[in-house]
Amino acid sequence: MQITKQQHKAAQEIFELIAKELGKNRAVHPATVISSAARLSGSFMFRSFNLQLANGSPGDVVLSVEANEKGPLLINFTGWMLSSLGIDIDKKELEDSPMAESDLSLLDSLKLLQNKASEIMSMNKLDYEQMAFSCAMATAFLIKECQHDLAVQSGFNTAIYSFIEGSKTYPPELSSPAAPRKKSIFTFWK
């Protein structure tokens, strides 16, 4: 996979955004920052599917072929990123490691971060899928940075669950300029 300079820059900006929004003096809860980055990644991937959902509400589970095909790409990409950062994941240890619990729910983390993340996407001229990979890259950086407080295997398991959760859950509306504007079906009289 070819990662552009813009995607790399966006990943760094997502890393900084998460540290700022979820940390106090850059001290963070490892599971919360890892799951938040992975949820953003999955949510941007979900948005790239352009599913036509008539009555979806934020938090609804949405099963799709697209999520089954593209969600695992985020997991594999993060594993590759960790390897390129010098962190090898032992599959047996991964199977035996628990997922860590986030202090934020999926919807709370998206509501807190998604609009600012969407602005980062717009500033770097990325589409939803490209941004999903930028957030996956940020997830790998966070797993590496948090490895002294949360075992890499637990961090990766936390990310795996959060990628799946994000890519299969109807997200809250975006309020940033990156969100497509819906046309009103109403006409106002003057």
pLDDT digits (tens, 9 = 90+) for 5-36: 999 999 999 999 999 999 887 689 999 999 99
175 occurs within a structural domain: no
Q: How far, in Å, are 43, 46, 107, 169 from residue 172 at the CA level?
A: 10, 12, 7, 9
81 occurs within a structural domain: yes
Looking at the DSSP assignment, which residues form a beta bridge with residue 61? 169
Amino acid identity for residue 69 in this structure: E
Number of domains in the chain: 1
Per residue in 43-81, pLDDT tens? 999 999 999 888 889 999 999 999 999 999 999 999 999
Mean of all residue pLDDT scores within the chain: 91
Q: How far, in Å, are 15, 25, 42, 186 from residue 20 at the CA level?
A: 9, 8, 21, 41
Q: Is the dihedral of CA 47, 108, 100, 153 positive or negative?
A: positive
110 occurs within a structural domain: yes
180 occurs within a structural domain: no
65 occurs within a structural domain: yes
Q: Residue 184: pLDDT above 60?
A: no
Task: Please tell me the predicted confidence (pLDDT) of residue 80.
Answer: 96
Model confidence band, residue 177 (pLDDT cutoffs 50, 70, 90): low
Task: Please tell me the predicted confidence (pLDDT) of residue 76.
Answer: 97
Q: Residue 37: pLDDT above 90?
A: yes
132 occurs within a structural domain: yes
Task: Please tell me the predicted confidence (pLDDT) of residue 92.
Answer: 87
19 occurs within a structural domain: yes
> Which residue from 188, 156, 182, 186 is spatially nearest to 79, judged by alpha carbons?
156
Q: How far apart are CA 104 and CA 107, in angstroms?
A: 8
- Contact predicate 46/168, CB 8 Å: yes
Per residue in 155-175, pLDDT tens? 999 999 999 999 999 999 998
Q: How far apart are CA 86 and CA 137, in angstroms?
A: 14
- Contact predicate 133/13, CB 8 Å: no
Q: How far apart are CA 70 and CA 136, in angstroms?
A: 12
177 occurs within a structural domain: no
Average pLDDT over residues 116-126: 98
Query: Domain range spanning residue 135?
Result: 5-167
